[in-house]
Structures are given as structure tokens and as C-alpha cells.
Structure 1
Amino acid sequence: MATKLKNKLGIGLWAALFSFGLSGLLSLFSLGSHYVHRDYFHTPEFRSELDQFAQYVNLFELNNITLEKAKQSITVSDDEIENYREEMGDLTIQISSLDEQYQSRIEEALAAGNPGAADIYKAERDKKIDDVTKVYGSDDYARAKLTAEKERQLEGVFKEREQYRTDFLKYKDQIQYYFESSLSDNVYTNLKASGDTPVQEQINFSNMRYITNYSISNEPPGYKGLLDMELYADTMIPYKGQFAVARNLSSASPIMTEYHAYKREQMTLWTYALASIAALILCAIRAKQAMAIPSSANRWRVYYNKLPMDVRALLAVSTSICAISLIASASDQFLYLFSNPFVYGWKMVIRIAAASICLAASLIQGRIWVAQFKDGPAAKKDWANGLLPRTGRRIRLLCALAKQHVADAFLHKSIGVQLLTLLAIIYGLGAASWIISLHPALMIAYAIMLAGAGIPIVMLIVRKAGYFNRIVLQANELAAGKPGQELPVSGQSVLAMLASHMNALTNGVKLLQNEQAKSERLKTELITNVSHDLRTPLTSIITYTELLKKEDVSAEDKLAYIEIIDRKSKRLKVLIDDLFEASKMASGNVELAKDKVDLVQLLQQTLAEYDDMIRDSSLQFRFSAAEEQVYAYVDGQKLWRVFDNLIGNILKYALDRTRVYISIRTLDNQAVISFKNVSRYEIGDNADELFERFTRGDSSRHTEGSGLGLAISKSIVDLHEGNLEISVDGDLFKANISLQRME
């Protein structure tokens, strides 16, 4: 139990001893130079008082002349007269200045109907002019004026000298002195004769606490320049003597009070310093044992480590600075300890105790920091999550956002310029209002400026805000799927551009809605057509299969039924294969085996395969090619499928006894293959729907075909990065294929 308590108090006691020791050393360093002297009489402070008393002795004893005697010694030289005249300036200028000075006063007096005052001003002016004229005209007159000026200065000096007589008498009662000169018989002392003992022999260490030799020059202070110093040449000799402090001087005297106070403070300081040194030595001996962190502090380490690293660093630095400041403050309190020991003693104890707490906290934090810095990566990560780095990142982010916002404001220069202009006008009006507060007379001008600039700006802002609100409402309508009416577009402003774009979006939404309706219709037709085209052969297969199951069917009928079932099965297979092919083409999951292919030869081969059907039909085919060979980088098999679909459709849907035109031509770097024929069935105006799957030229769906040919053909051409266009002009059907040409 005792060991545990010792561990808990170890670092606290060590911090208290260290704070006490450091405060004592600081007190010694700051006050030691003052208390290193033998006693108070050997301090610079007492020496300063002694020098001051020596000046008083010189003033009131060694050079104690009367005012009348000093005045009698005043002299004025010719050089002083010339200097006096030069300081006054030119005589003509002086007279002119006096005339100007009094002329206005005289005129004012006459204007006020007061001739008596005017006469007084004139007399005063004439007197001053006469005085100035005499100074320049007579040396004796000038000498008399300068003498009178010096007498006034002497009177001031003697009046000031009397202010120090009280201090002289105070020191005279406490400090003994004896001064004499080898050049004169004059002796000055405040010692009293005692029997047959000469006065000077009374100054010895058996009678005096302190004795010092001193030399005083008796040059009259404050008189130089006023007196003729040659009259006192016989007294201009140094006096030598001694100052002393008697042993029987009363302890209540100011000097003895300072003497005893110094001795007491000196003893206390050195005792404090020695105790501090002993405390620091003990701290050095017990440093290792005291640095162990008490177990009670470990409980707080978890909470301490939850703080951001920079906050912990600030806390550690703050406690350290606080400890140092409190120790220095405790050291400063020692200076006032002797004036009120109880008050300032308690202040020292409180400061040292507070410094001990702060120092102990700093030491514990230091040990924790050392343990943390041993794990370098963890410390770096901890610092990255600190308050300062996070704040820095946030500031950089805000700066980047501000920079981006400024850049965004000038994406359209007109908006940026308008914004700057508006801000300049607003700040200008604000500055003008501040000027008006200083100069209310400009209020009317400010009102005119406000009406001329402020009202148009307000109207412009209101108009722009209304226009912007209409655009916002239109955007809300579009978000809800309601196109609404188009916005009016006027001018070339950014808002007008935005309104134009909103109108384009409105038209786009309307077009998408139409396309969606069309898509829904085509989807319904697709389902209907797929169901019809698949169900028809399937129904025939089921029907004739049921007939074959009957026993009374003849062999000839069976063969006929089997032939029908075979034909319908093949028809169903074609439909399924075409549907699978169309799905693959639409998904783009088709690999092309591209090669250099002659399009003219490929088209001729395709026509040759239909040669018998063409001969049996009543159609007249016309083929033309601009060049004998037109090459393209394509998949020949897939492109043959396109040509096969188009020629097959022509044979199925072209009007009997009409001509069919097929041509190949080159246009720039494109190869264009055209198919033209007259349709047997009415196609309608919307040719794009022919590309939809299961769409056939025969809407009654009595002809052969899957309705997927054109959809597959367009997908194949798109995979070749080409273009298949269909146009209808009445019953005239046109199909144009454009492919990239190779040289």
C-alpha cells in the first residue's frame, strides 16, 4: 500500500521540488546582483544617494553664495551683444513687423469709435520701436537689457535651488561629512567637536558603520553663462574629504531602515537559493524513479489519445508554458515578499503548487508522446487526422470551390461582366452614402444618383428574376413530363439562350412522347405479327398431323399432308432463324469477317442466283454500275444477305410488269448501292416503320416472308458503319446503301 502511494505521489513530489528549485534559481539570477554586496552601504543605490547628497553639499555649503553677490558678478561681453542683435534680426524688418502688428488694432479701435484705445496702441507701438532702435543704436542700452535678462534667470536658478534644501537637511542629519582643501583654509563639516578630539579624527570605524573618501568640485552648478566665473577663480578648487554613517544613528532613520532591510532580504535570498539548489540536486537523483507514469494516469490515456494530435500537442505546450510562467511568477513574488510576507508568501506557495501540477501534467504527456512516436506510421496517420490538417484540407477545398465558383461565374463572360458591374454600382452607392454621412449637403446629389442608377437596376433585376422564374417553372413542367408552352425568346442574353434550350428540350420531350406512343403501337403490332406469323404454320402442322392420325386417310392424302407439314415446318424454321438473326444483330453480338470485296461482282452474283425467278416474273430489271469494280472492306457473306433480302422483297412486293432499277455509283469516298421499284401494295408515308421487325409490305400478311429482312439488313449495314436509307414517293420504293469505299 505504501509503495503504491509512493508511486502515485512520486512524479507530483518531484514536480513540486523542481518547481521550487527552479523558482529559487530564477530569484537568485534576477536579484543576486543586487544582494551580492557586503551591506547596503556598498550598493549602487546607496552610492547614488551619496552622490546626490554630495551635490547638495556643493550647492549649499561649498558654493553657498547669495543672490545679490551673484547678480553683482554678472557681465555682458560685446560678443553677447552682437549675438543678441543677430537673434532679433534686421532693424527695418523689426520696425515693419511692429507697424503691421499694431496697425490692425489701431484701425479696429478707430472703427469702433474708440480713439483713446487707438492712442494707447500707438504709444505702445512707439515705445517698442524706440526700444528696438536703442538696442541697435546703443551698446550700453543693449548691455543693460541683457544684464536684466540674466538677473531674471539667476532669480529662477536660486528659486529652484531652494526646493532641494529640505532633502539636503534630511541627508545632513543621517550622513556625516568632513571636507577641506589643501589650497584653502576653508573646512566644511557637520561633525560636532567632542572635547579635545579633533573633528576629523571622529571619523573612524569605532564610531562609524561606513566610511568612504570623496572628492567634490565646487564649480557653481546652474550659474555658468550667467556669472563672470573669473571672479570666483580662487574658489575653483577641488575639496576632498569623507562621508560616513555613524554607528549610533537611529534605527528609525531612513538609511538605517534600508540597511537592516537589505541585510534581512540578503539572508533570506541566499537561504532560498541554497534550498533551491538542494531541491534540484534531489530531483536529479530521483529523476529516473519519479518519471514513471502512475497507474492512475494510464486510465486517462485512452481518453487523452482520443483527442486530435495537434490538440494534444497544444495542450502539452500550454501546460509546459503555464508551468514555466508560474515558476517565473513565483520568482517575481520574492521581490515583494518583505513588504508583506503573509500575502506574497501565500502567492508564492500557490504559484509553485500550480506550477507543480502543470509540470507533472507536462511530464506525463511527454512520456505518452514518446511512446506514440516510437510507432512512426501510426503517428503520421494520427497527425493526418488532426484538427489542423483537417482544417487545412477544408480551407483548400473551400478555396478550390471559391475559385471554381468564380470560374463558373465567367463561363459566360456577359454574366461575369454584369455581375461585376452590378457589384461596382452597389458598392459605389454604399460609398456614396458614407460620404453623405460626412457631408449632408450632398444629399440631393446622392438622391439623384440613386434614382438614376438604383431604380433601373431594381427594374432590371425584377425583370430578369421574373424571366428566370418562368424558366424554372418550365423546367419543373418538363421534370413532371408536361412539355407545356414554349418560352418567349428575346435578345441574346444567357437567360434567352437558356429559354431557347428549354424550348428545344420541350420539343424533344414532345418528340419523345410521340416516339413512345409510336413504340407502344409498334410493340403491340410486333406481338400481333409474331403471334400471327408463328401461329399460322404451327396451326397447319398441328392440323395436318391430326389428319394423319386418322385411319381412313388414303396414301395419296398422307403424302399431300406430309408435304404440307414439311413446307410449314421449313417456313417455321425460317421464321425462327430470322428472328434469332435479328436479335443477334440488334444486340451487336456478331463478328464480321471483313475482307476487300468487289461490290459490283457481289451484287451481280446475288442477281444471278435469282435469275430463274426474275425470268419467270413480269418484272424488268435494269442494272448499272459507274465503274467495273467498286471495292469495300466488308463481310461479303453478311452483305450478300442484305442484297438477297432487298432483291427478294422486290420480287415479292413489286408491281407486275414494272421496271426495277439497281445501280452502284461512287460519291467521294462512299460507294452507294440503289434499289428502286414500284410497290404492288400501298406502303404509306412512314417508311421508317419498314425497318421494324415483322413489318411487311403486305399488311394482310398473305405473302411469304418473315418481316425481318429489312431490320436484319439495316443491322448488318450499321455494323459496317454504313447507312441504309429507305424512302417512299407514292408507290415508288427506294433503298440506298452507303458504304466506305476502298481504293
Structure 2
Amino acid sequence: MDTKSKSKMIFVIWILLFTFGLSGIISGLFNGKDYIKKDYFQTQQFEDELNQFVDYLKMFELNNINKEELKKKITVTAEEIEEHRYRYGDLSTQVSNIKGQYEHKIQDALLAGNKEVADAYIAERDKKIEDITNNFKSDEHVRAKIVKEKEQKIDEYFREIENYRSDFMRYKALFTYYLKNTATGEVYTNVNISSGDSIDTFINNKNMIFIQSYPSSKYAYLSTGGQYRFVGDNDVVTPLIEKETSTFEGKIALPKAASSENPILADYYDFQQKQKIFFIYTISGILAFLLSFYLNKKTRVIQCIPTGKWQPYYNCIPIDVTVMALVFTGLLTLLLFIMDNTLSLHQNLYIYIRDTLFRLIVTTLFVALTLIQGKFLLERAKAPANLKADWQKALLHRAYQGIKEAFLIRSIGMQLFILLSVVFAFGVGAAIVLIEPIYIWIYIPLFIVICVPIFIIIIKRSGYFNRIVTNTDELVHGNFEQDIPVIGKSALAVLAANINALKHGIKVSQKEQAKSERLKTELITNVSHDLRTPLTSIITYTELLKTSDVTDEERDAYIEIIDRKSKRLKVLIDDLFEASKMASGNIELEKEKVDLVQLLQQALAEYNETIEESTLQFRITTPDTPVYAVVDGQKLWRVFDNLIGNILKYSLENTRVYISVKKANDKAVIAFKNITKYELSEDIDELFERFKRGDTSRHTEGSGLGLAIAKSIIDLHEGSLDIEVDGDLFKVTVSLNTK
């Protein structure tokens, strides 16, 4: 065997050893934490399975408490009675709130001549007042309400855990257990054991592959206390169950029998096989890597890569292409190593050996390709004087120059100069043909292929230019003709596009100016109406108070109306001032990390009684985990308050309201959807205008500033508040950054 063939053979052997060794080392790094000093029963996978079974066992057998027993153990403390009684304030506050909720409804019904509706509102109001009054008169009245609420929570708990019974039965068939209550001596087991028999006869190392004893060095006594991981916290059931906490001793085991039917045993045997493969592969890889290191030290294998003959050809390739090719093959090689050591251990032995050999050969080829490219590139970099010239020839440099020229602005004069140069050249060619007619066979084809198309282009460009000039003349005189077609990417096309944009800008400006004038007029009208209405009432009833024949009852009624209208006027002025302040941006935000789900729930709680009294059905959808954002909680609460208030004012009776919170990428999205009782304008932007209300008759109590204030607050948070109207469906979507 000659020296060249021997060098090639040495390189092939070395690259195989090096690749296999590196693969084994990476296998150890990736999978060592799962297979070193561990068996299957120490893995997190089995730990989760065991804990899941223990939780099911506690819930369905060990606790041994049924629904009716829990209901009998319900207690109501004096503190709970007081909390329920004063949940919405003292008696006078709650009665005043109820009267305030129904006062405008009754007045509107009477003004509309609907005495039956007014009487119904009065009866409904009096019933609620009576119920609130009884809360403050009788502890038993409150206690009955609290007991009913707690019974409902107990029913919910048992409905929820029943969903897991089928899972418990599956686990029960897999595990064997024998547990005894340390206090009562009661035994819970799925072993068919006779009295007098020892449980060690059934649960021992001979017929069980895994035994967990309670108590043991790892676990204390098995206790039924604590919350189940898969069941939500229930503030009624959890304390009742914890009062009945019991401790158990015994064993939970996994039988060796029926391995084909037991998925946990299948995982156990699969783990053992993977562990053996891991150790064999990793240790073999380390030995191969050490051998390759020794071989390279002895023979300098890298020097066996021939570069002299092929280096000139390699240097002709653009340098950026060679670098990208080296990076690509290097990354692909690394990916092959990772795939080889994260996926292959999940197959049976035959498939593992077959696929490992195949991937080893493929990976070896890419390792060799990467090393060869690196050697060539290193030799090329040894001549730094040539690197500048190499960069000038690089594709990236040429692409940069081409892009720079492509985006260079060229005037129409330059384009005409090029065209005229071509025409001049063909004129000279015509003179040459007259002198030497033999060249006519060259001139005519070139004239047809080049000169005729250029002539057509000149005619078209001239017509296009004249059309642009004509259109701009009309535009100067205020005549908005159709848009100039934008043809191609020439300077004339850019000019045409700019003229079209200017034309549309003028149209939009005129339309916006007309809209602004109209909205200004509407704003003045609405402000005048909304401020004049309560002010007129104040003046009228003040004049009536000045008369001498006013009775005490009438005086009190007039004073109450003046008070209510004054507060109404104050609310309107305050809202208008706040809206103006928001729009000007003259406000500072006190931002902090806030849970948007909790903030929304707080806003809904403020309207809890109003929601219950309404005919609307609220459907709230929130994630199980908090959705945090850095916001001004007080200002954002105002947004939620305004939106919920609008829903309660303007929603059609007996319809559903949908409110949802979700997190999408780095955004928190809060959506409010309801069916409106009033027909809305198709122009969505108008709804954000001040004093614009869905109730065009302006009979509702709103100021018409809620959406304007809400949008200003969201804009200050660099978020978005969007409105969609589809027929009677009204949707508001608030989007905020979570980072």
C-alpha cells in the first residue's frame, strides 16, 4: 500500500473514531442526568404516576367522606354573618343604593305612561329592601343564606371529583396497596387477604417489583391532609376535609405479574433497556474519542487532508460562500449529533443499532466535510493580502453594490440621455451601413431587436408624461379626475404614484375637515344639551323653593331633586375635564405590576348587585394563571368600570354578555361583547367622540365620555382599544403589552 492510500485509510479510521467518540460524549452530557445512578422508580415520570395514584386513593377511599356528611358539618361563624351582612355597606347605604338603582327606572316608566312597569319596579325594589332589612334584623336569615352557598360549593366539589373516578379505577388495577388507619385500625386494600394472613405474604420483594412503605426513610405516614393537585381549591370543602385528616401506615406496590398489561411495568423494562444502551454507547464513545486523540497526536491526521492541488480551485469560490458553506455544514453536523443522542434511545435494540449505524455514517461524512472545508479556509486565510481582494469579489459585497445602485434616484433626464445615446449609436450605424453595405445584415436585426422597442418605449413614456401633466393641470383647478395608472417602476411611475397620493390626501383632508366641522357642531349641541338639562332642573326647583306656599314635603322633594341634578352636573363636568386632560396627555401614570384578571374581577364585583338585578347573563372567561402587565391599576380600573357600565346601560334585555381575558404572545387581550338595545352608527370612530352616545335620544344617565376616556387611558399605556359593530353585536377589544 502506497503512502497516499495509507494516509487516506488513516484519515477514514480516525474520522470514524472521532465522530463515534464525540457522539458518545454528547450522549453522556444529554442523557446522563436521566440514567446515571438511577432506576426507573427514581425518575420523575414514575414519581408523578405514584403521586397521582395516591391522590386518587385519598380522594375516593381514604377520606371516606360523602356529600351529605360534609353538609351536616357546615358551620357559620359570627364573623361570616357580619361579613355577609356588611358586604355592600351598612343598612342605610345598601337601601340607598337599591333606591338609586330603581329611581330612574321608575321615573322613566311613569314618564312613558307605563304604570304597570313602574309598579313592577317598585315591588322588585321593595322586595330587595325587605331582604336587606331582614339581614340586619335576623342572624338566622343570614345564616340560612350562607349555608345554602356552602352547600352549593360542596355539590360543585363532588361533581368535579367524579370526573376522575375512571382514572382512579385504571390506577387501582395497576397498583397493589394495603393501608391501615393508625387511629381506627380500619384497613383499605385491593388485596384479597383473609383474616389472620400477613400482608407480607402478598406484598414482598419476590412478587413485587416496587414497594413503597409508609412510614419509611423517604416518606412519613400517609396523610389525607392537603389539597389535591388536580382539583381546584374549594374554600368550603378543604377546611372540612382537613378537620378529618387521618394518617395511614402500610404499603403501595407494583406487581411483577401481567407485565404486558401494565403500562408502568412496560415503562420500567423500557427504561432498563435504554439505560444499558446508554452506558454501552457512552463508555464506547469515550474510549473511541481517546483513541482518536491518541491517533491524531501520533500521526497528525489533519495534515493528511490534501489541499495543495485543490486549493487554487477553492480560492476561486467567493469567500462569503465558503464561510456560509462551512457554517451551514457545521450547524448541520451539530444538529445530527443532537438528534443522534436525543431520539435514538427511544427505540428498541434492533432499530437503535440499525439507525445508529446509519446516522453515524451520515454524521461522519458531514464531520469530514466540515473539517476539510475548515482546512481549506484556514490555508486561504494565511494570505491576508488577498482577503481584501476576496471581499471585493464576494457575493455579499457585489449584492450590496447592486442594491445601492438599484435604489439610487435617477432623473428623467438621465433616462432620456441613455435613450438618445442608443438612437445616436444607431444613427452612426446607419452611416456605416451606407459606406459598407455588407454590415446591413448585422444592423437590421439589431435595429429590430433594440431600436424599435426603444422607439415604442419613447412614444409610451411621452404619452404617459403628457397624461401626468394633464392630470396635474386638472388637479390645480380643483377637478379630481381618476387616478393616474402607475406603470412600471420608472421615475414617471413614482411621480404618478406621488400625485395620486397627494390627490387622495386632499380628498381625505377635505372629508376630515367636513367631518370635524360636523362633529364640532354635534359636540357643542350635545354638551349644551347634557349640561343644560340638569342645570334647568336646578334653576326651576330653586325658583319653586323661593315661593312661600311650599309645604315641607314638597321642599324636601325639591331639595332632593336639586341635590341629584347637582351631582349629575358635577359628574358631567368632572368627566369632561378628565377627558380633556387625557386627550392633552397632561397626566402621569403610576405604573406597577398588576394582575389583569384580578383587576377585572374587582371591577365586576363593584357591579355584582346590578348584574344580578339585571336581565343580562354574564359569561366570564379567564385563564387559570394570572395575566400580569405593568399598568396604572387605578386608571385601568376606570377603563373596565366604564366599559362594564356601558354594557349595563346599553345592552338589550335578556341577552348574554361575554367578557374574556387571554394572553396572546406578549399581549394581554380583554374582550367585551354584548347586544345593543340602540341602533349604532356605522362610523365606529364617532363612538370615541366626546358626548357621543349609543342612546341617540339621550335618555340614559351616561355622560357620553366613557369610551373617549377609556381610549385615552389605553393610548397612554401604549395599548389599543378597538370597537367592532356587526349589526346589533357590539365588541370592544383592549390590548395591552405584558412586557
TM-score normalised to the size of structure 1?
0.49
Q: Point out the structure with max Rg over C-alpha.
A: 1
